[in-house]
A and B are shown apart, each in its own frame.
Chain A
Amino acid sequence: MIAYYVDLALRSLRRSPVLTGLMVLAIGLGIGASMTMITVLHVMTDDPLPGRSAHLYTPHLDPLPRDYHRGENSPDPSDNLTWPDAMGLLKAKRAVRQAAMAGGTLLARPAQDGLQPFYVGGRYATADIFALFGLRFEYGGGWSSADDAAGAHVVVLADMLARKLFGRADVVGRTAHLGELDYRVIGVVADWSPAPQFYADNTGTQYSDTDRFFLPLSVAIDKDLPVNGNQSGWGSDDKAGSGKRGAEMSWLQFWVELDTPAQVAAYRQYLVDYSVEQKALGRFERPPTDAKLYSLMGWLAHENLVPDDVQLQLWLALGFLFVCMLNIVALLLAKFLRRGGEISVRRALGARRRDIFAQLAIESALIGIAGGALGLAIAQLGLWSVRHRPDDYARLAQMDPTMLAGTFVLAVLASVLASLLPAWRACRIAPALQLKAQ
């Protein structure tokens, strides 16, 4: 029966090629614009660390004074941790794994002659970071907590930086010159660039930054290495407590691994207890319940990395699709009602309303499939142009198989939805009246 309906639909569509073309074009444009923007939004809000992200959490404390007033455009200092708090949480070891970290950019001098020095971004972190985020070592390994405590001058390089500095990846034991200091290479990890860079301070360009080296955080603080991102202080200049080790400047990010709901609940309680304790000591002034524990995806939602413009573009595209659908509803209605004679004959010959409805819905679905193909082409064109924009997230704008299938599903869904009203009206044509008129 379906084959017969498809045949009928094809005949009917071929009978009015201009109208069919118009409907395919309308749905193609609407789907193309919508899928371009849905894809962009999808890659921007996608899980940056599939498989691992469900175990990662970031604690949030509020060490700000009660009357702290934040400017309209300035970042929230309590998004990051102070040195004493980060060290406190690190030493308490209440999570399965935990690491404090901050970003930095250093001048790298290649060991090979004739190559210009260049700036490279990396991360200062404590020992657990590799296991915590699941980085894969190609050679060597990470450093230990003892190295952290001793401020050992060791470095883990990303494959790409190792090749750029030494011409090859197997460089464990060699000396890398970064900034003004020499470091012994103890490991090389495979290139790693989760997008967005969820663990970095949110002032950077998180969809395009990548870490190329990892240094012990203690070295960064001992040698006062330059730190990227937002370093917000709230103490007055002349009071002790400012500076990187101070309790009145936040600049560190902190991530923990928690594997079971019980561990999550316990950690959440621990953060509140910690805040109560700090409040009793007179350091914190705000309610201890300000302490929060964000899951990885929850943290990204909290940071709201999707720019307003991208959201606006999505709404615009959906509005466009909606108008295209209205257009198709009107055209289908006109088309179906004009076929009153044909429908009446079929009804008189015994077709049920249901059959007529199915036939018309299949006809619209065919339009949807053609529109989906056109929409896919338009969306690929749209994504290609997004990739050529200098935006931070541009390089990510690619369709994965799910989105590809989604395009067709959306196109067919939209066209079948658009056909509901016209098909229902067409089913209600009274056959006797129509036949008599002829």
Chain B
Amino acid sequence: MEFRPILSSLRRHKLTASLLMLQVAFTCAIVCNVVFMVAQRIQRVSVSTGIAESELSVIHSSGIGKDESPQARHAADLAALRAIPGVRSAVAVSYSLPLNRSESSRGFCPSKEALDRAMQRNSIEGSGCMQPAVYDGTPGLVDTLGLRLVAGRDFLPDEYVDKGKPAVAIITQALAKAMYPGRSALGQSMYDGHDFIRVVGIVDTLLRPAPNQPGVAGQSMIWPQRPVDAGVLYVLRSAPQDRARILRAGRAALLAASPSRLVDPQRMKTYTQIRARYFQRDITMIGLLIAAGLGLLFVTALGIAGLANFWVQQRTRTIGIRRAIGATRGDILRYFQAENFLIVGAGVVIGAVLAVALNLLLMSRYELPRLPLWYLPVGALALWALGQLSVLAPALRAAAVPPVVATRSV
């Protein structure tokens, strides 16, 4: 293909061609960043919590009777809940579950020296101490949540306490690696300034209730403490399709067991709903980003097609002359395709630079990592394909111009 005639013709439409090129460049820059942000968000919303999400349902109950022992109440409630057909197991927790935002965290140090370092700096950063999220619950929590024990054991019945601090804990692998790098965490004692708590088990994954900071999102621990407040979360495990029925039956069973309480239907949820609520903003954002990206590509495709259409109309006579002096339909078609290839090509080169600049700008204002460079060639290819697709119809129309047009006067 001979590019020289195309270039000399483009030179006569310098301004229009460069505007189209700029549009392609900005589209390329924005779309590359949008796709990157979508990928980031998808990665965020698909994080694993480590629990059997599709089988869990949660009911919040708060007792409002005055002279009741909360723990006796919980035990009676759990018995009633377990009696519901389809409920495989049930536990009570104070308020924390992965991604429900109600987090209680506590500082722990691998040793006395680390604690001293932390005291000296007035900060736990860099001291070796960690601040894991602490989960509590009635016996059976590990099984009900569906956690995978990779080392050690579950709690023994006599390790559970109603008041005060338990003596043992199960921690996540992420916390084990951070606290005891290069060593086995099993059997180690974690120091919290007053007491030692022994690690008796390690679970694969258990995400925090509020994983805001990426580095420590997986650092959590469970200890054998029964909930002490009248307000409590009941976690039920069942087959996924039974969850809606079990929630209704659970509410009825709780109200029947003790009418002097609140079981707010708003706080009765399947775990799937809890997860969706946590990531709700991200899901909105993914939808918006995709819509904006598609909108941009659509407008750019329209622009390319519109302008090409215009040029074909304008050059009808020239095309006729070329056809009359021997150019084939294929030549005309390829001419317009090559012209588009050149304009979009120049556009994506500028677009790649703009994409990196835009990414740097976004990085400085929002929490966004660096754009991987392989996005740029992929974005370029996508825009080239889009350009060729949008120019196809006008180019075919140009190719269909009969040579006889050349002999007609305008």
Contact = CB atoms under 8 A, between A and B. Distances in A.
Contact of B285 (A67, A313, A337, A425): A313
A390 B280 contact: yes
Given A26-B302, A116-B262, A389-B280, A338 B295 contact: no
A203 to B, nearest CB: 11
A185 B314 CA distance: 82
Output the residue of A26, A322, A327, A333 with the most chain B CB within 10 A.
A327
A360 B26 CA distance: 26
Interface string A397-438: 000000000000000000000000100010000000000001
Nearest to A16: B310
B15 to A, nearest CB: 6
B6 interface: no
A418 to B, nearest CB: 10
A395 interface: no
Given A73-B212, A117-B262, A391-B284, A19 B299 contact: no
B228 interface: no
Nearest to B19: A330
Interface stretch (A191-199, A245-253, A304-312): A304-312
A316 B34 contact: yes
A327 B303 contact: yes
B114 interface: no
Given A26-B302, A323-B299, A327-B302, A334 B311 contact: yes
A240 B16 CA distance: 76
Nearest to A437: B410
B300 interface: yes
Given A322-B26, A390-B277, A317 B292 contact: yes
A327 B295 contact: no
A30 B30 CA distance: 14
Contacts of A116: 262
Contact of B292 (A25, A316, A334): A316
A116 B262 CA distance: 8
Interface residues of B, number: 44
A331 interface: yes
Given A19-B306, A316-B288, A338-B310, A29 B295 contact: yes
A335 interface: yes
A330 B16 contact: yes
Output the residue of A29, A72, A317 with the most chain B CB within 10 A.
A29
B331 to A, nearest CB: 24
A338 B16 CA distance: 12
B30 A319 contact: yes
Contact of A316 (B15, B19, B22, B289): B289
Interface in B227-272: 262
A158 to B, nearest CB: 21
A352 B16 CA distance: 25
A69 B122 contact: yes
A165 B96 CA distance: 32
Interface in A58-76: 67-69, 72-73
A319 B298 CA distance: 14
Contacts of B26: 319, 322-323, 326
B280 A33 contact: no
B213 A312 contact: no
A323 B289 contact: no
B20 A330 contact: yes
B310 A334 contact: yes
Contacts of B281: 307, 309, 391
Contacts of A421: 15
A329 B311 CA distance: 15
Residues of A contacting B: mostly = helix
B311 A33 contact: no
A389 B314 CA distance: 48
Contacts of A266: none
A333 B15 contact: yes
A344 B212 CA distance: 65
B64 A107 contact: yes
Contacts of B27: 323
Interface string B144-155: 000000000000
B128 to A, nearest CB: 17
B284 A22 contact: no
Interface string A359-376: 000000000000000000
Contacts of A391: 280-281, 284
A67 B303 contact: no
Given A308-B366, A317-B292, A425 B15 contact: yes
A340 B27 CA distance: 30
A327 B289 contact: no
Interface string B13-46: 1011001101100110010001000000000000
A30 B27 CA distance: 13
Output the residue of B26, B30, B288 with the most chain A CB within 10 A.
B288
B23 A323 contact: yes
A89 to B, nearest CB: 29
Contacts of B292: 33, 316-317, 320
Contact of B366 (A312, A323, A326, A334): A312
Interface string B80-91: 000000000000
B19 A326 contact: yes
A363 to B, nearest CB: 16
B307 A331 contact: yes
A327 B310 contact: no
Contact of A320 (B296, B311, B410): B296
Contact of B16 (A316, A333, A390): A333
A320 B295 contact: yes
B314 A338 contact: yes
B125 to A, nearest CB: 9
B123 interface: yes
B300 A69 contact: no
A69 B366 CA distance: 23
A324 interface: yes
A328 B298 CA distance: 14
A26 B303 contact: yes
B389 to A, nearest CB: 16
Nearest to A19: B306
Contacts of B296: 320, 323
A3 interface: no
A18 interface: yes
Contacts of B284: 309, 389, 391
A253 B16 CA distance: 59
Contacts of B298: 29
Contacts of B13: 334
B272 to A, nearest CB: 15
A165 B326 CA distance: 91
B102 to A, nearest CB: 13
B163 to A, nearest CB: 17
B71 interface: no
B309 interface: yes
A330 B23 contact: yes
Given A69-B123, A117-B64, A331-B310, 7 more contacts: A19-B306, A19-B310, A323-B26, A333-B19, A335-B310, A337-B16, A425-B15
For the complex of A and B, the 3 pairs showing the least CB-CB separation, nearest first, are A330-B19, A327-B303, A326-B23
Interface of A: 18-19, 22, 25-26, 29-30, 33, 67-69, 72-73, 107, 116-119, 180, 307-309, 311-313, 316-317, 319-320, 322-324, 326-327, 329-331, 333-335, 337-338, 389-391, 421, 425, 438
